[in-house]
Each structure stands twice: as C-alpha cells, then as structure tokens.
Amino acid sequence: MRIAALLLAAWPLLAAEDAPAWVREAAARPVPSYPAKVSLVVTLQEESVTVNADGSRIMRERGALRVLQQLSHPPVAQRGYDSRNGRIRSFQGWLLSPSGKPVVFGKNAIVDRSAATSQMYDEHRYQALNPGTGLAPGATFAWEVVEEEKTIFANYHYPFQSDDPVLLSRFTLTLPAGWEVKSVVLNHAPIEPRVEGSVYSWELRDLPWIEPEEHSPGIAAAAPRLGVSYFPASGGSGLRTAKDWGALSAWFSELADPAAEASAPVRAKAAELTAGAKTALDKMRALAAFVQQTNYVFVAIDLNHGGGFTPHRAEQTLERNYGDCKDKTALMRALLASIGVESYAVSIYATDRLFVRPEWPASQFNHDITAIRAPAELTLPATLDHPRLGRLLLFDPTSRTTPLGDLPDHEQGSLALVLAGARGELVRTPLLPPALRRVESDVEARLTPEGGLTARISRRYFGQSAGPWRRLLLGEPEEFKHSLERALSRHLGGLTLGRVEHSDRFEEGQLELKMDVAVNRFGQIMQGRLLIVNPGDLAPPPDYALPAKPRQQPVELYARAHTDSVKIAVPPRFKVDELPEPLTLESPYGSFHARWRAEGASVLFEQSVEIKDTLAPASEYGQVREFLEKIATGQRSPVVLVKE
C-alpha cells in the first residue's frame, strides 16, 4: 500500500435540498432502448444565449443525463470560459438516485482548470463538476452553468450532441429587439427556429448514439450542429459581424495584415537569407526554411477580442525567434514582401478536413497558414489556381516536416479562408495525389539454410510519408534507432540493426533511409528440407486494417501509395517449391498488384499499393474492409523453398 500523496480536488457540499423542477422533469423523461454498449443517455441538453445591446452575452447551459450502465469513470459536467473577458457566474449540480433522492452540489464542488496544455499560456479555462459516486444505473446527474462574457464575435456554435444519445436538445437565442439572425444546421436536415419576438429557438429530439469507429470522420462531421450569426440593428454594439466570407476575410485581414509589414529588420533578414539564392523559388525556400526553424510557442490572449487572429509583429517574432502559427505566417509574409512577393494569411482547420462548412461564414478555424502569390510558371503541388486571386502556393510554416510545395495531410482537401481583404474567399485546398506521398522500398536479402536473413533495406519516402521519420530524426539519435528497431521487430521478430544511413532532400520532399538488418528467424525450416518465408514482411507494413463489425459511420482513408521490391537470395541447395499466384485488385478505393517470381537463385517479390483518398458511406464498409484485408493477406503470402 502506498501512502497517498494528496492531490487537490474540489470540496463538497451535499445539502438536503431538492432539485429544481426541470431536473425532475428531465429525470422523468422516458428512455427508449439502446444498444448495451451505451452507458448513458442525455435526457436534456439546453443552452440559452442572451445577447445584450453592447454585444456582451450570458449563456445558460442546462444538462441532464441518465445512467444506463455501470460507469468506470463518472461523466463530468464542464464549461470553458474566457478568463480575461468573462467568467462563470454560477455552476450548480444535482444528483438524483434511482429512487429519486436528491443530492445538491455546492459551488465549492467545482474545479477550475487552465486550458493550457502544450501551449505556453492560454486565457481560456474550464470549470468542471465531477459527481463521483452515486451514478448507479437509473441515477440522473444534472447541472446548470451560467457564463457571461464580453466579445466582439457575433456568432455561436452549438453542437446538438456529442456521441451520447440525446432525448431533447435545444438552443435558444435572445437578441435585442430589431436584431437580425441567420442560422445554418449542419449534418441534419434544415430546422426552422421557433420565433417569439426576438427569441429564437432550435430543437431536436431523439438523437441516436454515435459510436466512435475506426477511420471515420470526426464527430463534427456526424453530429448535428447549429451555427448562428446575428447582426445588430445599428452600430454601437461593438460587435464585428460578417454576412459572407468576403466580409469575414476583410475583418481578419485587418487583424492579420499590419503584423506582416516588412519593417527594416525584416527586410534586412530577408536580404541576408536570400543573398545566395538565384531563382524566385530558391528565395522562397530560403525564407520558408527560416520561418520553419522559428520555435513554436503558443500564447492565447484576449481571444474574445480577436486575439486568436492577431499576430505579433513580424519584427518581434524575428527578434524572439518564436511564435505561434499566426506569428509565423505574419513573419513569412513580411519576409516575402521584402523580396517583392505578395502573400495572404489563410485560416484553416488543421485537424479535420471536413470541419469547415461553406454555408456558415464564421470563424470555424484553428490554424493559420500562408498563401503565396506564385508566378504562373511555378508548378509545385500545393498550388491552386484561383480565378480572382491567381495562382496560390499554400505553405504551412508551422509544420517543420513539410517543405514548401507540399501541405500537411489534414490540411489537404479542406476549406480555408484566404485573407485577401474584401476579395478574400473560401477555397478548397489541393488534395495531392497518392503518388506524391508514396514510399518506394528495395530490399536485397540473403537467406541462410537455417532461416536467418541479412538484408540491405532502402526506403525512399516522398511528400507527407516522410513526416514521421523527419520528426524522429529531429530528436535524439538513440530514440530514432530504437524506433526503427521497434518498427522492424514488429514484423520480423528478433533482429540486429546494423548500419543506418539517412539522407533528407527536404526541399525536394524526399527522405531516404538505408539500413542493414540481420533477422534471427526470418524463415522457418520444416522437416529439415522445407523453408517457409514471407518476403512481404520486408516491405513496409500495410497501412490500414479495419475490424469486422457492423458500421454506422462513413470510412475516411487518406491516400497512401507504395511500391516495393524484395529480392531474397535462396540458400545453396534450396530451390523454390511453391510461389503464390500473382494478385491484382482494382477497386474504387485503390489498387494492389503483387507478384512473386523465381529469378535465378533468388525469389523476387514486387508489389504496388495505391489507396485513394476515400470518404465511403457506411454501406460500403464491407467492400473497403475486404479490399484492405486482401492487401494485408496478399502481402503476407508465404513462399515455400525446398532443399534439392
């Protein structure tokens, strides 16, 4: 037994008060039958936002959930807030036992946490209520939070549910008289609000459970969501509004552009960096490399007043040599301006291609990248030709593993707002073809009569496929070596990693790894005369495996491609006894070709795999899974050698 270290937590209060009527009502709501895996149902999810004439707003959130199954970890009621421009005014909670006996949580049961995790500082905070014990099946946990904030934003995002089923979800917006409201419902058929004076209310009932599933789009693409924007009748509110993407671009450009000014120190740095560069592309690459090396440090301040979209001045970022995504973008733009290249900041959602929706012109973004006005003759992959803005080369200076001309996987095929003042538009970022992120591998190996193997493995990683290795190479050499050993051992068993070489042609988007490997037991000798080997184990492992189970959500696959060649010299006095039949698969999701040949005293295995960027409906899950399983099985097909 360990003498416990005392961590902190909230303190109680359990008082013998009753729960309010709305909690009783939510607890009494009949619950339909759900799959046994569903642990709880939200009987009420409600948020009421009241906007004052000065644009400040008060949000009252009510929630109630019924426990259906025993829970290993109790659900926690949580609300985020901006600690500079707002506060949680009150946070109450109630627990109704299955018999209906109430427990009331006092304000001292609330824990207040910083939202900052990896970032240096974040004014965003959370308050949370953990009900702890008592959540037996049949119990109801309910809470009410009131938050107030001052903001210049005039829109609001309300997800009708998370993955738990919801019986009643309601959003109510109360505006000052005469204000206008626009709304859009995402992932659901349109809903007209109920309007009473200047009170608008949207409601959905009986929302089903959304089971988290492998390789499915995020919850934001599955759960119904509401986006509302409101517009004051006249000025004086202090709100910034945008009725279309152009207006939003104009506003965000106002915030972003001043920081991208090419001041004297920035111009001097640009001149220094590009001094040896001969072409425009070389100059851009030199600037890009410099901004990529700028340390990433995120400080979130004054978010409700546009702090999340206002970079530090480029010369400040240059001096400090650190900044966040918008700071890096501003510095990149300032450096580009110094050499006469025009560019724009671009707002994007970095972690989900499907998050941003064109029908709701509002800030749906969490990341900034750069769009460079590129000359027509520049044909790098991450470019798009825009009818009004011209050829734009998209570049993410925050990604240290993505060279100019490429784009991180999650940012491809996504909607992004080019901040070109009032001319700015929402654009679709390029989706780069699988071949541009392919892996090519060549293996020359020699097998011993006992099944041991020595091999020289060469792998060339193109585009985004090089990212994980680049990240490892940025770290300690020992960790890089151990990662290689772990990855190879997973399929080859015990091995000794010999010489490892790598060369990174970063600007060309190519990384090559060469390594010598000795595998203790690559083949298995049987009956003293048969030697069984799987040449495919020397190629990179299959990219995807989907489980055999019913599917609710679409399947989302990111493009993958590799071509592999494995040549194994057969031991003396052995010959090929059995080779797998060649395999060819063509499907809407990609293609697979594999063949095994005896070539002199060697066995040659060659395969090419291409998986396309796919968003397939759940009804096609079986086909997608079968296609991927055939690739995995095919790659592991054994070859039988026999002693002559």
Partner 1 sequence: MRILRPLPVLLAFLFGALSPGLCQTQAHPNAFWLPVTDAEKQMKEPVVDKDAGVEALFWRVVVGDQRRGDDLERVLYHYVRLKVFTAKGKEQASTVDIEYNKGTYIGDVQGRTIKPDGTIVELTKDAVHDRDVVKAGGIKRKARSFAMPGVELGAIVEYRWRETRDRSLRYMRLQFQREFPVQKVTYFIKPLPRDVVSEIMGIKPFNFTLPPLNEDTKGYSSIVLEKMPAFREEPLMPGQAGVRIWALLYYSPTEKRDPVKYWPNVGKKVYKELRLSLRADSDLKQAAAQAVAGAAGDEEKALRLLRYLRANLRDLFDPSVSDADRLKTIKQRQKKDGRSVGEILKSGVATSDEMNLVFAAMASQVGLDARPALVGDRDDILFHPSSLDVYFLPNVDMAVRIGGSWKVYDVSTRLLPPRLLSWREEGASALVTDPDKPEFISLPLSPPEESQVVRQAKLKLDAEGAIEGDIEEAWSGHKGAERRGDLRGESEARQQERIKEEVLQTFPSAELTQIQVEQVDNPEEPLRVRYHLKVTGYAQRTGKRLLFQPLFFQRGSQPLFTASDRRYDIHFRYAWREQDEVAIALPPGFELEKAETPGDLDFGPPGSYRVKLVVKGRVELSAQREFVFGKGGALAFGRSGYPQIKGVFEEIHARDGHILALRQSAATGAK
Binding residues for partner 1 restricted to 16-35, rule: CB under 8 A: 35
Residues 74-133 that bind partner 1 (CB under 8 A): 74, 105-106, 108-114, 116, 120-122, 129-133
Q: Residue 388 interacts with partner 1 (CB under 8 A)? A: no
Contacts with partner 1 by CB under 8 A: the residue count is 90
Task: Identify which of residues 229 and 294 has a Cβ nearer to partner 1 in the complex.
Answer: 294
Residue from 391, 400, 437, 460 binding partner 1 (CB under 8 A): 400
Q: What is the spatial distance between Cα 312 and Cα 624, in angstroms, rounded to a whole number?
A: 46
Residues 605-644 that bind partner 1 (CB under 8 A): 629, 632-633, 636-638, 640
* Minimum separation from the CB atom of position 498 to partner 1 (A): 10
Site of tokens 């470019």: 383
Q: Residue 282 interacts with partner 1 (CB under 8 A)? A: no
Collapse the DSSP code of 507 into the 3-class scheme (helix H, G, I; strand E, B; otherwise coil) and give the result: helix
Other beta carbons within 10 angstroms of residue 285's beta carbon come to 19
Task: Identify which of residues 487 and 618 has a Cβ nearer to partner 1 in the complex.
Answer: 487
Residues forming beta bridges with residue 542, ordered by sequence position:
none
Find the part of the chain contacting partner 1 (CB under 8 A) among 368-376, 382-390, 419-427, 524-532: 524-532
Which DSSP state fits 325?
Answer: H
The contact mask relative to partner 1 for 345-384 (x = CB under 8 A, - = no) is: ----------------------------------------
The set of long-range contacts for 60-63, using a CB threshold of 8 Å and a minimum separation of 24, is: 60/144, 60/145, 60/146, 60/147, 61/143, 61/144, 61/145, 61/146, 61/147, 62/22, 62/142, 62/143, 62/144, 63/142, 63/143, 63/144
Q: Residue 13 interacts with partner 1 (CB under 8 A)? A: yes
Q: What is the spatial distance between Cα 87 and Cα 304, in angstroms, rounded to a whole number?
A: 12
Task: Identify which of residues 129 and 419 has a Cβ nearer to partner 1 in the complex.
Answer: 129
Q: What is the spatial distance between Cα 75 and Cα 42, in angstroms, rounded to a whole number?
A: 11
Task: Identify which of residues 105 and 344 has a Cβ nearer to partner 1 in the complex.
Answer: 105
324 burial via Cβ count (<10 Å: 0-12, 13-18, 19+): buried
Torsion of CA 482, 485, 491, 493, to 10 degrees: -110
Residues 409-468 that bind partner 1 (CB under 8 A): none
Q: What is the spatial distance between Cα 260 and Cα 291, in angstroms, rounded to a whole number?
A: 13
Task: Identify which of residues 112 and 244 has a Cβ nearer to partner 1 in the complex.
Answer: 112
Find the part of the chain contacting partner 1 (CB under 8 A) among 9-17, 243-251, 327-335, 505-513: 9-17
Q: Residue 527 interacts with partner 1 (CB under 8 A)? A: yes
Task: Identify which of residues 258 and 493 has a Cβ nearer to partner 1 in the complex.
Answer: 493
Q: Residue 604 interacts with partner 1 (CB under 8 A)? A: no
Q: What is the spatial distance between Cα 90 and Cα 485, in angstroms, rounded to a whole number?
A: 54
* Minimum separation from the CB atom of position 442 to partner 1 (A): 24
Residue type, 408: P
Q: Residue 180 interacts with partner 1 (CB under 8 A)? A: no
Find the part of the chain contacting partner 1 (CB under 8 A) among 44-52, 418-426, 508-516, 574-582: 574-582
Find the part of the chain contacting partner 1 (CB under 8 A) among 199-207, 319-327, 340-348, 509-517: 319-327
* Minimum separation from the CB atom of position 216 to partner 1 (A): 15
111 burial via Cβ count (<10 Å: 0-12, 13-18, 19+): middle
Find the part of the chain contacting partner 1 (CB under 8 A) among 292-300, 410-418, 566-574, 608-616: 292-300
Q: Residue 578 interacts with partner 1 (CB under 8 A)? A: yes
Residues 216-235 that bind partner 1 (CB under 8 A): none
Nearest to 350 by CA among 330, 331, 329, 364: 364
Residue from 181, 184, 210, 297 binding partner 1 (CB under 8 A): 297
Strand pairing category for 367-373 and 390-395 = antiparallel
Task: Identify which of residues 11 and 435 has a Cβ nearer to partner 1 in the complex.
Answer: 11
The answer to whether 129 and 76 have CB atoms below 8 angstroms apart is yes
Q: What is the spatial distance between Cα 184 and Cα 206, in angstroms, rounded to a whole number?
A: 20
Q: Residue 70 interacts with partner 1 (CB under 8 A)? A: yes
Residue from 16, 30, 73, 499 binding partner 1 (CB under 8 A): 73
**Vertex 176 angle, CA 172 and 180, to 5°:** 75
Task: Identify which of residues 413 and 540 has a Cβ nearer to partner 1 in the complex.
Answer: 540
* Minimum separation from the CB atom of position 413 to partner 1 (A): 26
DSSP calls for 357-398: -TTS-S----EEEEEEE--TT---TTEEEETTTEEEEEE-TT
Q: What is the spatial distance between Cα 579 and Cα 624, in angstroms, rounded to a whole number?
A: 27
Residue from 89, 188, 482, 505 binding partner 1 (CB under 8 A): 482
* Minimum separation from the CB atom of position 20 to partner 1 (A): 19
Residue from 16, 486, 499, 600 binding partner 1 (CB under 8 A): 486
* Minimum separation from the CB atom of position 588 to partner 1 (A): 21
For the sheet with 180-186, list strands across it: 155-159, 225-231, 180-186
The H-assigned helical ranges of 422-536 are 467-474, 477-492
End-to-end CA distance of the chain: 64
Q: Residue 573 interacts with partner 1 (CB under 8 A)? A: no
* Minimum separation from the CB atom of position 7 to partner 1 (A): 7
